[in-house]
């Protein structure tokens, strides 16, 4: 926790010498409230703003400016109220039972119990703010919304771990892992499949150049996913499922659209086939370039991946008129998610001998060597 | 003997709980009393290195199971379970083409609980891939990647990649038909990398044909390099969750 060390308004100071424990506790509480401790962690800090230096507390204007600079990420400034139950009781218990603690531990304890320890960095200090001024009601609400990790979270984690362990033991007892014949480089099984989580890529491999299917498309997908938070920066809808009013309908529409288009494309390549089609066209027109590897394995597959995305974007724009980046990201990510799932299912359950499409119960789904 | 007096008295009077917890040995391990007061609930978070990963208090909404579905935590749990079962498997498995397959057969038939061990390791690996992927999906649809959590999302994407690689490198080790042909498909794809494809394939196969060199490379990656890297990025991931102010909640 970054509250340790410099800038901690809960440092024990020289003017506390000789005070009673209760008086010191009151002083800590006042300073905590003045420093705005107890609020959620400040976005200003998270964005790289320096914590306040120990002696020179910034003027209120400076603190406000800092919040403003952090723009949309700033949370409403709220401060720990001086007298909420948690803080008071915490400080008292911390003091009364403090015999076994080092001064440093005692100070951290006071800080943690008052502040709830939910945050990382200390909140920016508001200069000389009185406890009364700082104890706004949203802050009191926030204080009450904090719960102790022990026992609340620790219990959930413990139960989840036990359940997960038990399920893994049961699955391990019931399902036997496959172990086929000894590896033999001379006997190619038909079909030869990658592990299930790569069958989506192997499915792509059937339709396009291996560089596209195995390297470029997955790398581009991961890179695009990684940039999502740098494009969609609006924090208004953080922490809620779907968040914006339009994102759930957009996700729903994208799911159906993607599933239908994807399955149509797979059937098209299986029954008509880009290569046979281009060969016929090339033969008919005499333009051999149309039947080149570049056209059939790179250009047309790329076009067939991009075009449905553009059409999707147009449709979503027409139908839903998305409000900002979040709605667009929901559309894009849902598209990726559905493609991943559908291709994995097709590759796992519908590709049999010769990597042709079969029903899962078709005898040609079995591997032969 | 004098010092043992209270302890022995407690025992004599049947006060077993106090005898066990109010003695110097117990107190040297568990410094604070039972965490039933705010003070001890806070202290246990400081004093226990494992709990120290957590803050003392968190927002109430963060507890809601239908918000996270525990997916990140379960991913981590699977990683731990895989480490434990994986280390046990290492006692029986030798990464050489001459013996790897028969070691697997021995695990299934000779080693006590060997089959259960193998099953748990394999299914936990599948489970981890699914859980990590679903965790990403949950983080996305709750908008929890937004500032200040951008970088942790990127760390997450790296963790997802590492999870795939961990799982895939393990797939070769049983040295059966399933293993080498799946890896043949995979290495052929990697070999299609533009410009450096041939070099990439040579590096991950350890030659031109899948054999002993491939097995030892994938083994080292699977049991040392990738787990360490994953642990490293998980460390950053968890640290960042704290630094970004706990898990995201509505403002
Ligand atoms: C080995 C894989 C991973 C592990 C063990 C892991 C673990 C965790 C844990 C325990 C949390 C706390 C909240 C929760 O449980 O949901 C979390 C949060 C988070 N994870 Fe992961 N994670 C992994 C992979 C990923 C991936 C693949 C992504 C995204 C691409 C990601 C992005 C995030 C983000 C942004 C948060 C903060 C969420 C919030 O504030 O609500 N993580 N992770």
Task: Say if CB A108 and CB A4 are below 8 A apart.
Answer: yes
C-alpha closest to that of B69 among B159, B137, B158, B147: B137
B156 lines ligand 1 (CB under 6 A): yes
B82 lines ligand 1 (CB under 6 A): no
pLDDT of A74 higher than 60: no
Strand partners, A357: A351
Does A152 reach chain B within 8 Å, measured CB to CB? yes
pLDDT of B121 higher than 80: yes
Instruction: Please tell me the predicted confidence (pLDDT) of residue A135.
Output: 42
A284: closest CA of chain B, how far (Å) = 32
> What is the residue with the minimal CA distance to atom 15 of ligand 1?
B72
End-to-end CA distance of chain A: give it in Å, rounded: 59
Separation CA B188–CA B202 (nearest Å): 10
Separation CA B1–CA A199 (nearest Å): 70
Does B15 reach chain A within 8 Å, measured CB to CB? no
Separation CA A117–CA B36 (nearest Å): 18
Sequence-ordered alpha helix ranges (H) in chain A: 21-34, 43-46, 60-69, 85-96, 103-115, 131-134, 137-145, 154-174, 199-205, 210, 217-231, 247-271, 274-285, 293, 300-320, 325-349
Instruction: Please tell me the predicted confidence (pLDDT) of residue B144.
Output: 94
Which site among B185, B200, B205 would you substitute to test the A interface, given the most A Cβ atoms closer than 10 Å to its Cβ?
B185
C-alpha closest to that of A330 among A228, A234, A236: A228
Number of A/B CB contacts below 8 angstroms equals 302
Q: How far is CA A210 from CA A216, A297, B146, B193, B194, in A?
A: 9, 9, 34, 8, 10
pLDDT of A246 higher than 80: yes
Separation CA A362–CA B88 (nearest Å): 40
ipTM: 0.92
Q: How far is CA B63 from CA B54, B70, B139, in A?
A: 13, 9, 15
B234 lines ligand 1 (CB under 6 A): yes
Strand partners, A351: A357
A118, A153, A156 ranked by CB distance to B245: nearest: A118
Averaged pLDDT for residues A258-267: 97
Task: Say if CB A60 and CB A155 are below 8 A apart.
Answer: no
Give tens-digit pLDDT for B132-144. Answer: 999 999 999 999 9
**Residue A89's pLDDT band (cuts 50, 70, 90):** very low
Length of chain B: 251
**Residue A330's pLDDT band (cuts 50, 70, 90):** very high
Q: How far is CA A69 from CA A51, A74, A146, B194, in A?
A: 15, 8, 27, 44
Does B110 reach chain A within 8 Å, measured CB to CB? no
B72 lines ligand 1 (CB under 6 A): yes
Does B84 reach chain A within 8 Å, measured CB to CB? no
pTM for this model (two decimals): 0.80
Window 89-108 of B: residues touching A by CB (8 A cutoff) are 97, 101, 104-105, 108
Phi-psi region at A101: left, alpha or beta (left = phi > 0; alpha = psi -120 to 50): beta
Give tens-digit pLDDT for A196-213. Answer: 999 999 999 999 999 999
Does A21 reach chain B within 8 Å, measured CB to CB? no
Instruction: Tell me where in chain B the CATH 1.20.810.10 domain(s) lie.
Output: 60-243
Task: Say if CB A185 and CB B210 are below 8 A apart.
Answer: yes
Looking at the domain covering B60-243, what would its CATH class be? mainly alpha
Mapping DSSP onto H, E and C, the string for A57-116 reads CCCHHHHHHHHHHCHHHCCCCCCCCCCCHHHHHHHHHHHHCHHHCCHHHHHHHHHHHHHC
Contacts of B187 (CB under 8 A, 6+ apart): B201, B204, B205, B210
Instruction: Please tell me the predicted confidence (pLDDT) of residue B207.
Output: 94
Separation CA A154–CA A150 (nearest Å): 5
DSSP state of A212: I
pLDDT of A78 higher than 50: no
pLDDT of B187 higher than 60: yes
Averaged pLDDT for residues A294-318: 96
User: Is the previous residue joined to A268 through a cis bond, with omega within 30 degrees of 0?
Assistant: no
Separation CA A89–CA A91 (nearest Å): 5
Instruction: Please tell me the predicted confidence (pLDDT) of residue A142.
Output: 61
C-alpha closest to that of B118 among B129, B106, B128: B106
Separation CA B111–CA B122 (nearest Å): 17
Q: Is A50 exposed, middle or buried (0-12, 13-18, 19+ CB in 10 A)?
A: exposed
**How many Cα atoms within 13 Å fall on the side-chain side of residue B21?**
9
Phi-psi region at B14: left, alpha or beta (left = phi > 0; alpha = psi -120 to 50): left
Averaged pLDDT for residues A219-246: 93
pLDDT of B165 higher than 50: yes
CB atoms within 10 A of CB B236: 15
Q: Where are the domains of chain A?
A: 1-38+53-119, 146-177, 193-365
């Amino acid at each position: 926790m970054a509250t340790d060390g410099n800038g901690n308004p809960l440092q024990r100071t020289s003017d506390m010498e000789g005070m009673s424990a209760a008086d010191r506790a009151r002083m800590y509480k006042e300073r905590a409230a003045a420093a705005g401790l107890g609020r959620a962690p400040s976005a200003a800090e998270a964005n790289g703003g320096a914590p306040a230096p120990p002696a020179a507390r910034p003027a209120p204007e400076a603190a406000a400016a800092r919040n403003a600079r952090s723009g949309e990420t700033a949370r409403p400034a709220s401060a720990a109220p001086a007298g909420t139950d948690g803080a008071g009781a915490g400080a008292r218990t911390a003091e009364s039972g403090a015999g076994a603690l080092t001064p440093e531990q005692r100070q951290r304890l006071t800080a943690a119990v008052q502040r709830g320890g939910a945050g990382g960095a200390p909140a920016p200090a508001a200069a000389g703010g009185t406890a009364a001024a700082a104890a706004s009601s949203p802050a009191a609400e926030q204080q009450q919304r904090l719960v102790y990790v022990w026992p609340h979270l620790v219990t959930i984690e413990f139960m989840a771990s036990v359940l997960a362990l038990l399920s893994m033991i049961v699955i391990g007892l019931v399902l036997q892992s496959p172990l086929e014949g000894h590896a033999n480089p001379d006997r190619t099984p038909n079909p030869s499949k990658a592990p299930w989580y790569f069958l989506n890529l192997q499915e792509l491999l059937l339709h396009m150049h291996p560089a596209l299917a195995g390297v470029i498309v997955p790398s581009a997908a991961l890179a695009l996913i990684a940039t999502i938070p740098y494009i969609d920066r609006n924090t208004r809808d953080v922490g809620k499922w779907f968040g914006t009013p339009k994102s759930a309908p957009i996700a729903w529409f994208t799911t159906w659209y993607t599933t239908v288009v994807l399955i149509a494309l797979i059937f098209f390549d299986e029954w008509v086939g880009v290569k046979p089609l281009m060969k016929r066209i090339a033969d008919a027109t005499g333009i051999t370039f149309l039947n080149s590897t570049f056209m059939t394995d790179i250009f047309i597959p790329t076009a067939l991946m991009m075009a449905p995305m553009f059409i999707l974007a147009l449709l979503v724009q027409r139908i839903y008129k998305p409000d900002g980046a979040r709605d667009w990201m929901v559309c894009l990510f849902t598209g990726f998610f559905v493609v991943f799932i559908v291709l994995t299912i097709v590759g796992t359950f519908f590709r049999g001998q010769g990597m042709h499409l079969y029903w899962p119960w078709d005898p040609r789904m079995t591997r032969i060597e | 003997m004098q010092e043992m007096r209270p302890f022995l008295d407690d025992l004599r009077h049947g006060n077993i709980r106090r005898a066990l917890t109010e003695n110097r040995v117990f107190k040297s391990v568990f410094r604070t009393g039972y965490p039933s007061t705010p003070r001890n609930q806070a202290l246990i978070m400081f004093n226990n290195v494992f709990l120290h990963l957590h803050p003392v208090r968190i927002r109430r909404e963060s507890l809601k199971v239908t918000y996270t579905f525990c997916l990140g935590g379960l991913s981590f749990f699977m990683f731990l379970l895989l480490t434990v079962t994986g280390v046990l498997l290492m006692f029986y498995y030798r990464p050489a083409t001459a013996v790897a397959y028969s070691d697997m057969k021995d695990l299934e038939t000779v080693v006590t609980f060997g089959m259960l061990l193998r099953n748990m390791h394999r299914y936990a690996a599948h489970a981890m891939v699914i859980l990590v992927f679903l965790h990403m999906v949950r983080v996305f649809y709750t908008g929890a990647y937004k500032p200040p959590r951008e970088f942790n999302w990127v760390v997450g994407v790296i963790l997802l990649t590492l999870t795939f690689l961990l799982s895939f490198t393990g797939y070769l080790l049983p040295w059966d038909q399933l293993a080498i042909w799946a890896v043949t498909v995979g290495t052929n794809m990697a070999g299609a990398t533009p410009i450096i494809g041939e070099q990439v394939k040579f590096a991950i196969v350890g030659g031109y044909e899948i054999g002993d060199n491939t097995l030892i490379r994938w083994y080292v990656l699977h049991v040392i390099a990738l787990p360490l890297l994953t642990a490293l990025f998980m460390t950053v991931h968890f640290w960042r969750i704290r630094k970004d102010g706990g898990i995201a909640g509505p403002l």
